[in-house]
Structure 1
């Protein structure tokens, strides 16, 4: 999973695995292949004995602009195929990120919107480039967020701020993300990966087993188990995808016009 033409790449150096979304022309929007490869990359990081810390990032100019609207939301395939074995759980890529038992750093190098923001939330630590932008855009498409917005965002920025971001779909810049505690620091764009690697190196030099238990303890204390909430979120998204408002949200985006929602 390291070819330059892959939608997601995986590389390990000095005990740090780097997962890179690699659709720069589409601002790293996730199509079905990218979702599948992202899930596999996180699963590979868990199995990889050489990986002690994980960085997830995007090929410039974006971190992840969410779902590929043309292929996933407007295409002929269902947006979220029912998982064959896991019904009451988040989407498979989300579950893989949440179940990664090694520390995860998100190096947010540009837009992290929609599911891109969800992916950033699944990380344990976020570092933002000065060019980063964040938004939970789901409401603009007539949908709810995935489990990240419900499960992690309130714990990170507080319930009231999370509600504001989820209800409005507003875009915030890196400085605002720092102010509300969404990211630990804002770095000059050219220095982002160096800073992420330096932090990852400080983490990866510690005992691997202790790191895993430390991460598990933090998850249990701060977040709990996402499966029940994730199952509800996925069923809700499937329901909303059948509504006229969802179709209008997608159509207005593709047609570059203001949406007209009717509550149907």
Structure 2
């Protein structure tokens, strides 16, 4: 059987591709496990500076696997405690893995990003969409809640009012509205989606590798600390980065009007 998640490294860019098009990349148990493993693998590789998250088939992800969800109570008679544990040891590992990865992740969203699929896109640092992309927080349509961090992530990206509208109505929004909401930063034609994702990734990896990771950390921790604490952290990071050869190379390249050559040191 083909791998449910594909992993490919090219120079300093890793492409992670959801590869269950027959289920529209529903986040089944095997796909969740494989995705977490792929994210952790990229994070552990010092030779990686950016990740592109893509999907094979007509959809980015249709969300949770409804057959697995139905089987919890209809067939397996799982108790509330067992269901709680299923989430904690399964799909909730995905947002935790994304919250720890130290390099930027770019989501290339094609087709439907529904429920947990929409939430998966919000776990990424940059989101671009094909013109046919459709987004929805559809959990209430099946009588459940966002169990994968969507209620935490979405308001921080598009604001509480718009997040509430998506969460409480389950409405489907197209790529144009997603752009207006700030859910994505760009909409491109479907045939240019991956091309644009790689253009952005190349921009990222053309910058000093350690400074990329420190910027990601500074942005991430800013969500939970005071301005003073964030400034203190920034000063600490600057004290390290400005001692590196890559910092000196960056300045010299600008002054000498040439392309820099970074070594990650």
Deviation per CA, 1:19-66: give whole Å up to 9, x if none.
111011111112111010011011011012222101111102110101
Does the Cα contact within 8 Å between 2:24 and 2:61 map onto a contact in 1? Answer: yes
Residue 199 of structure 1 corresponds to: 200
TM-score, length-scaled by structure 1: 0.77
Does the Cα contact within 8 Å between 1:126 and 1:183 map onto a contact in 2? Answer: yes
Q: Residues 29, 11 of structure 1: CA spacing in aligned structure 2 closer, same or farther, 3 A cutoff?
A: same
Residue 94 of structure 2 corresponds to: 93
Separation in 2, partners of 1:27, 1:7: 12
Separation in 2, partners of 1:219, 1:93: 16
Deviation per CA, 1:188-244: give whole Å up to 9, x if none.
0000000000000100121221111111111122366xxxxxxxxxxxxxxxxxxxx
Does the Cα contact within 8 Å between 1:12 and 1:18 map onto a contact in 2? Answer: yes
Q: Residues 215, 72 of structure 1: CA spacing in aligned structure 2 closer, same or farther, 3 A cutoff?
A: same
Q: Which of the residues 29, 32, 35 maps onto 2:32?
A: 35
Residue 219 of structure 1 corresponds to: 220
Aligned-pair CA distance for 1:150 = 2.0
Larger radius of gyration: 2
Give the gaps of 5 or more residues in structure 2.
Answer: 226-265
| 1:144 partnered with 2:145 | yes
Residue 125 of structure 1 corresponds to: 126
Q: Post-superposition, which runs of at least 4 consecutive aligned residues in structure 1 deviate over 4 A? A: 75-81
Separation in 2, partners of 1:81, 1:162: 24
Separation in 2, partners of 1:182, 1:95: 20
Does the Cα contact within 8 Å between 1:155 and 1:222 map onto a contact in 2? Answer: no
SS of the equivalent of 2:222 reads helix
Separation in 2, partners of 1:137, 1:198: 32
SS of the equivalent of 1:128 reads strand
Aligned-pair CA distance for 1:117 = 0.6
Separation in 2, partners of 1:207, 1:80: 44
Residue 241 of structure 1 corresponds to: none
Does the Cα contact within 8 Å between 1:8 and 1:21 map onto a contact in 2? Answer: yes
Residue 262 of structure 2 corresponds to: none
Does the Cα contact within 8 Å between 2:107 and 2:126 map onto a contact in 1? Answer: yes
Residue 85 of structure 2 corresponds to: 82
Deviates most, 163-172 or 212-221: 212-221
Q: Residues 141, 83 of structure 1: CA spacing in aligned structure 2 closer, same or farther, 3 A cutoff?
A: closer
Give the gaps of 5 or more residues in structure 1.
Answer: 225-264
RMSD (Å) for aligned C-alpha atoms: 2.3
Residue 107 of structure 1 corresponds to: 108
Separation in 2, partners of 1:73, 1:209: 45
Does the Cα contact within 8 Å between 2:92 and 2:149 map onto a contact in 1? Answer: no
SS of the equivalent of 2:60 reads coil
**Residue correspondences, number:** 219
